[in-house]
């Protein structure tokens, strides 16, 4: 696996996001500090309502924080125009959603080629690039299928191919396996792992602890804040965990217990 570089591709300082007004105001993200290095595969976990998806939306420039600083490749993004945000999203960031979000009236290859339409790429070049991307996911025989003709796993692979067609450096995945069975889920995670090995930065939100074994860093959120931030390492397909910051005492005790058992 390609190691993450020391350069921070994303840096958050005191990031805060609120919804509502007055008595109805609710802090969804509270004073978040976070550094994400280029080439990391990060899994973000936590209960519903803890701020995972809101964090992903802010990182993907789909939402703006109310306070704090967001640096993308060392440059602040808070004051850039909507047009510039859209340009960064189309060229730098790929999105993978739980609900797939394929356009029902377009066939597979047209769905994958769609992001290229916003970059000024010609139709012929877009179709060629989309076809090449689908081939990487072993979906070239289904280029002209309609979305309703695909299985759930195939549909999500098409969605990932669409996210990658612009060759983005950052992939944001919001519950990419949430609507899939366990077999399809692991196939999708293997695909994401392969993308990670090519050097892409991946930030994935998931409810499933089994899915975090594919990541090299696991962040747990609670009540709009980062509760734990743990780095993991892969050794011959077996993951050993090295704690970076653990705030839950039960995790520390279980770790000590396992060491005693091994003795």
Asked whether residue 15 is assigned to any structural domain, the reply reads no
Confidence of residue 6 (pLDDT cuts 50, 70, 90): low
* Number of domains forming the structure of the chain: 1
Half-sphere exposure of 210 (CA within 13 A, CB side): 11
Asked whether residue 16 is assigned to any structural domain, the reply reads no
Asked whether residue 30 is assigned to any structural domain, the reply reads no
Task: Report the alpha-carbon distance of residue 29 to residue 222 in Å, rounded.
Answer: 10
Task: Considering only the C-alpha atoms of the chain, give the largest distance between any 2 of them, rounded to a whole number of Å.
Answer: 64
Hey, what are 17's tokens? 């996001």
Domain housing 43: 39-64+80-262
Nearest to 88 by CA among 168, 8, 34: 168
Asked whether residue 118 is assigned to any structural domain, the reply reads yes
Hey, what are 57's tokens? 């939306």
At 129-167, the pLDDT tens digits run 999 999 988 898 999 999 999 998 899 889 999 998 988
CATH of residue 140's domain is 3.40.50.300
How far out from the chain centre does Cα 78 lie? 21
Asked whether residue 74 is assigned to any structural domain, the reply reads no
- Sequence-distant (≥ 6) Cβ neighbours of residue 254 within 8 angstroms: none
The pTM score is 0.80
Inter-axis angle of helices 182-197 and 152-164, to 10 degrees? 20
């Amino acid at each position: 696996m390609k190691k993450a570089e020391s350069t921070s591709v994303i840096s958050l300082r005191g990031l805060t996001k609120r919804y509502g007004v007055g008595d109805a105001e609710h802090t969804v993200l509270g004073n978040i500090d976070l550094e994400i290095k280029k080439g990391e595969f990060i899994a973000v976990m936590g209960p519903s309502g803890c701020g995972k998806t809101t964090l992903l939306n802010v990182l993907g420039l789909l939402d703006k924080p109310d306070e704090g600083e967001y640096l993308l490749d060392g440059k602040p993004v808070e004051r850039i125009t909507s047009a510039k945000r859209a340009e960064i999203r189309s060229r730098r960031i790929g999105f993978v959603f739980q609900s797939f979000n394929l356009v029902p009236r377009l066939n597979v290859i047209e769905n994958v080629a769609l992001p290229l339409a916003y970059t000024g790429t010609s139709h012929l070049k877009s179709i060629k690039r989309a076809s090449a991307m689908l081939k990487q996911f072993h979906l070239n025989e289904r280029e002209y299928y309609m979305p309703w003709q695909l299985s759930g796993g195939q549909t999500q692979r098409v969605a990932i191919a669409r996210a990658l067609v612009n060759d983005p450096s950052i992939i944001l995945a919001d519950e990419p396996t949430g609507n899939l069975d366990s077999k399809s889920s692991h196939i999708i995670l293997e695909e994401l792992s392969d993308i990670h090995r090519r050097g892409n930065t991946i930030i994935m939100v998931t409810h499933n602890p089994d899915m975090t074994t594919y990541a090299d860093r696991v962040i747990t959120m609670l009540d709009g804040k980062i509760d734990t931030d743990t780095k993991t390492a892969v050794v011959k397909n077996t993951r050993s965990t090295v704690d970076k910051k653990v705030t839950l005492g039960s995790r520390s005790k279980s770790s000590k217990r396992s060491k005693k058992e091994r003795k």
